[in-house]
C-alpha cells in the first residue's frame, strides 16, 4: 500500500500515517506479557491433541507465526526451530524398480541353484530356447 495517490505522496509518508505508526510501537515487555497470556490460553488445548508430537508441532507453528521471520510458512518456521525435514516417501516407480531388482536377484539365485542341481536351465527360463 505504498501507492501514491493524487497528491503524489506515498501513503506511509503522510502525516496521519506517521502518527498512527508512532502509536503502534510496542515494547519488548508488552510482547513478553502477551506471549505468557497466549501460552496460558493455549495450555488448555494441548491435551486435545491425539499425540504429543502434534501438540509440540502446534506450539512450534504458533511460535513461528509470532516470530520475526520474513516468511511465515511451514519450512522457514521448521528450520528456525531446528526441525529437520523428513525424506519424502518413495515414488511408486522407485518402489517398482526396487522390487524388480530384488525379484531379479532372487530369480537369478533360483536359476543358479537349479542349474547347479540339474545341469539344465529351468524350462520357462531357458535363455537359448523359446518359452
pLDDT in tens, 74-102: 889 998 988 887 777 778 888 778 877 87
- What residues contact residue 38 under an 8 Å CB cut-off, 6+ apart? 62, 66
Please give the pLDDT value at position 2.
54
Of residues 46 and 1, more confidence is placed in 46
Would you say 37 and 46 are in contact if contact means Cβ atoms under 8 Å apart? Answer: no
Alpha-carbon distance 12 to 21, whole Å?
9
pLDDT band at 131 (very low <50, low <70, confident <90, very high): very low
pLDDT beyond 60 at 130: no
Amino acid at each position: 500500500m505504498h501507492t501514491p495517490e493524487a497528491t503524489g505522496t506515498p501513503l506511509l509518508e503522510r502525516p496521519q500515517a506517521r502518527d498512527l505508526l508512532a502509536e503502534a510501537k510496542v515494547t519488548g515487555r508488552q510482547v513478553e506479557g502477551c506471549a505468557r497470556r497466549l501460552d496460558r490460553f493455549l495450555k488448555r488445548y494441548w491435551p486435545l491433541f491425539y499425540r504429543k508430537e502434534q501438540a509440540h508441532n502446534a506450539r512450534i507453528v504458533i511460535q513461528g507465526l509470532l516470530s520475526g521471520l520474513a516468511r511465515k510458512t511451514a519450512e522457514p518456521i521448521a528450520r528456525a526451530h531446528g526441525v529437520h525435514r523428513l525424506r519424502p516417501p518413495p515414488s511408486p516407480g522407485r518402489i517398482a524398480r526396487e522390487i524388480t531388482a530384488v525379484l531379479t536377484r532372487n530369480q537369478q539365485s533360483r536359476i543358479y541353484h537349479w542349474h547347479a542341481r540339474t545341469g539344465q536351465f529351468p524350462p520357462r527360463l531357458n535363455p537359448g530356447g523359446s518359452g
